Amino acid sequence: MQVAKTIEEVRRHTKGARSRGKKIGFVPTMGALHVGHTSLIDRGIMDCDFIVVSIFVNPTQFGPGEDFKKYPRPVDDDLKICEEHNVDLVFNPEPQEMYAAKNLTWVNVEKLTELLCGRSRPGHFQGVTTVCAKLFNIVQPDIVYLGQKDAQQAIVIRRMVADLNMPMEIVVCPTIREADGLAVSSRNKYLSEKQRKDATLIYKSLQKCREMIDSGIRDSQKIIAEMRKILQQVPSIEIEYISIVDADTLQNLDQITGRVLTAVAVRIGPARLIDNILIDTGKL
């Protein structure tokens, strides 16, 4: 496994792989790797011949007062995990390598970024799409692997790739969960034992949504009210949003129909946690 700190090194390795006819898979991450990340790597290994993982805590996607400084950076552990999962190349740049000159160019996907997490994290998605555009230009992958865990992020990046005619495929992989249903996340580390237990209510509320839709209920407000009751069982949970939206446009749905995304964002103590489920009512 090669570890590159510079853009030039990445270009050299990927150019070599491409000239040997290898299909390049790319998994962008912020590190603190866990089974959610490795599920993307493992999927990439199945489809591709050369897997690149980036480990970069991207400053431009964190707002003032967010957790940029304290975001975990266990780089040695991450490299070990990558090695164990047969990654070919890790790109682990310093911020000055990615943002050498102060960026005057930003990539901004309209509309889709104004909803859900975009409301409470202004500028967040612009940071995400800008760093992804830069990383995609550096790595030039055939396939990019993203997690359904960050559903809005995947939708926004897919749209950027389509709108800017970037020549790559986006594959979105299922959310990996702990045994009790909590979506695996680097930010779960911020939780105390009690908060970690309370956090299981997030997935319970999503399961309630699924049950209600399965039983034929189509009134979103009715479902959201039941989900709210579940999350309000503990005082530690502060609800940021519970939304039932069209899975393509992210517009709120009063009546559930077609492919719907139910998305939740909460604060528990020091952590902001998000989760979602995707339901295709056409297939029920």
Question: Which residues lie near ligand AMP (CB under 6 A)?
Answer: 29-30, 36-37, 39-40, 146-147, 149-150, 173, 175-176, 183-186
Nearest to 67 by CA among 241, 273, 275: 273
Laid out side by side, the sheet with 237-246 consists of: 237-246, 259-268, 271-280
Residue closer to ligand AMP (CB basis): 38 or 220: 38
Minimum gap (Å) between residue 18 Cβ and ligand AMP: 23
Minimum gap (Å) between residue 176 Cβ and ligand AMP: 4
Q: How far apart are CA 117 and CA 139, in angstroms?
A: 27
Residue closer to ligand AMP (CB basis): 184 or 234: 184
Residue closer to ligand AMP (CB basis): 67 or 97: 67
**241 membership: H or E segment, kind and range:** strand 237-246
Residue closer to ligand AMP (CB basis): 161 or 173: 173
Minimum gap (Å) between residue 11 Cβ and ligand AMP: 22
Q: Which of these is catalytic: 13, 34, 37, 85?
A: 37
Residue closer to ligand AMP (CB basis): 141 or 147: 147
CB atoms inside a 10 Å sphere around CB 140: 18
Nearest residue to ligand AMP, using CB? 147
Helix runs in the chain, H state only: 7-19, 35-47, 75-84, 95-98, 117-120, 124-139, 151-163, 193-198, 200-214, 220-231
CB atoms inside a 10 Å sphere around CB 184: 17
**Beta-strand pair 169-173/143-147:** parallel
Minimum gap (Å) between residue 174 Cβ and ligand AMP: 7
- In the chain, what's the furthest Cα-to-Cα distance? 57
Would you give the DSSP letter of residue 32?
S
37 is catalytic: yes
Alpha carbon of residue 263 to chain centroid: 13
Minimum gap (Å) between residue 218 Cβ and ligand AMP: 28
Residue closer to ligand AMP (CB basis): 184 or 239: 184
Minimum gap (Å) between residue 38 Cβ and ligand AMP: 9
How many alpha carbons fall within 13 Å on the CB side of residue 22?
Answer: 20
Q: How far apart are CA 219 and CA 274, in angstroms?
A: 23
Would you give the DSSP letter of residue 252?
B
Q: Just list the catalytic residues.
A: 37
